[in-house]
Amino acid sequence: MAKMAASVVETGEDAFKKIFKFYKRRYPPPDFSDVIDFSKCVTTDKIVPVKLNPAAVSDDDAANVGLHPVKGWRAFNLQGYPGFIFITNPFLRGSQPFWIRQCLKSYPQKPNVCNLDMHMSPADTQDIWAKSVTNLSCASVGKREPRTLLERLRWVTLGYHYNWDSKTYSANHYTPFPPELHLLSSQIATACGFADFTAEAGILNYYRSDSSLGIHVDESELDHSRPLLSFSFGQSAIFLLGGTHRRDAPTAMYMHSGDVMVMSGPSRLLYHAVPRVVPARQEVALVESERGGAQGGAILEQVSAEDWAVCCRYIRSSRINVTVRQVLGQGRSFPPAEDETKRKRRRSSDSPKTEET
């Protein structure tokens, strides 16, 4: 084992990059002992349990989107990161399969936009799921080139579609945001004190075992007083949360299937990244066993055995992350065109795509 992350850098010039490379490195493998695991529920000086308002969301409303009652959530703040909230898997047993199926079967469908649209015709990306299910076989697990469209999926955008080149959203590239994901996001945001949050844009990132996501700040949204929500499914990952400068050394934490993160207040505009996907055999095995378990509420339709078999094959080697954002301030619209040029002059650090080693 190589030495610990803390001793790799002194806080200084691009400390974030050094720690990112430390955790991304394959040989020798890094020492993970500095990585915070909120699921272990250990309270330290740095990890502060937080009580969310149990009355903010009724138990029925929570169950309707597949969440435990708020009073049962285990939520934490992180010392030095005001506005950052980590909720360890608040999903009811039996509800993750629905959300995973949505991420793989429903959200990549038109009119949503995905990476494959950049170099394939609409007809070819019309039904990624149907075109992939037969060939997404057990043999696909491993490090060969992805063959199916589902395995080649890297990102999907929802609602106001993020433009990766101009790093902006615009009024004229919008399709309806999925109502059930809107509802889920509202319940999470409300429990965290943001009752008026409106889910307007979503970015789904699909990670293979060797994928990473570069260092960036999510600042393209026009109202930074609104939180950014993040949902993780499938394999685990190491998430790095830094400061407002690249010289600030980041804190490393695991994100497991079902975990939810809220970046708000002073933590809304912090540098962050995902240097590594880490195997989560036990956690994923648990999720795999969930189909047909106690289901949550009305909007969560039962996932068929055939669909779930495909989802399980996928999450055995991959991770899905969904970030949900409010783009516009309450009651606001997009600024006039001349201001758009200014908005396009974004820092190069804004929302990168996942990349493979």
Contact 95, 66 (CB under 8 A): yes
- Whichever of 5 and 229 has its CB closer to ligand SIN, that residue is 229
The Cα–Cα gap between 284 and 300 comes to: 20
List C-alpha distances in Å: 134 to 117, 123, 130: 21, 19, 8
Contact 244, 188 (CB under 8 A): no
Q: State in angstroms the smallest separation of the CB of 122 from ligand SIN.
A: 26
Helices 281-288 and 305-315 pack at an angle, to 10 degrees, of 170
Strand partners, 321: 205, 232
The Cα–Cα gap between 91 and 63 comes to: 9
DSSP string covering 25-72: --SSPPP-TTSB-GGG----SSEEEE---TTSS-HHHHHHTTB--GGG
Q: Which residue of the chain is nearest ligand SIN when measured via CB?
A: 321
Q: Tell me which residues touch ligand SIN (CB under 6 A).
A: 205, 213, 230, 232, 237, 239, 255, 272, 274, 321, 323
User: Which strands make up the sheet holding 228-234, listed edge to edge?
Assistant: 47-50, 74-78, 84-88, 260-263, 228-234, 319-325, 201-207, 155-159, 113-114
- Listed in sequence order, the residues at least 6 apart from 137 whose beta carbon sits closer than 8 Å to its beta carbon are 313
Q: State in angstroms the smallest separation of the CB of 58 from ligand SIN.
A: 29
- Whichever of 226 and 291 has its CB closer to ligand SIN, that residue is 226
Q: State in angstroms the smallest separation of the CB of 218 from ligand SIN.
A: 6
- Whichever of 105 and 272 has its CB closer to ligand SIN, that residue is 272
The Cα–Cα gap between 270 and 229 comes to: 14
- Listed in sequence order, the residues at least 6 apart from 298 whose beta carbon sits closer than 8 Å to its beta carbon are 64
Q: State in angstroms the smallest separation of the CB of 239 from ligand SIN.
A: 5
- Whichever of 96 and 295 has its CB closer to ligand SIN, that residue is 96
Q: State in angstroms the smallest separation of the CB of 277 from ligand SIN.
A: 9
- Whichever of 131 and 346 has its CB closer to ligand SIN, that residue is 346
Q: State in angstroms the smallest separation of the CB of 7 from ligand SIN.
A: 25
Q: State in angstroms the smallest separation of the CB of 336 from ligand SIN.
A: 28
CA atoms within 13 A on the CB side of 333: 4
Closest CA to 265 of 283, 244, 282: 244
Q: State in angstroms the smallest separation of the CB of 231 from ligand SIN.
A: 9
- Whichever of 57 and 103 has its CB closer to ligand SIN, that residue is 103
The Cα–Cα gap between 347 and 354 comes to: 18
Q: State in angstroms the smallest separation of the CB of 205 from ligand SIN.
A: 5
The Cα–Cα gap between 43 and 11 comes to: 25
Q: State in angstroms the smallest separation of the CB of 203 from ligand SIN.
A: 6
Which backbone phi and psi does 87 adopt, to 5 degrees? -115, 120
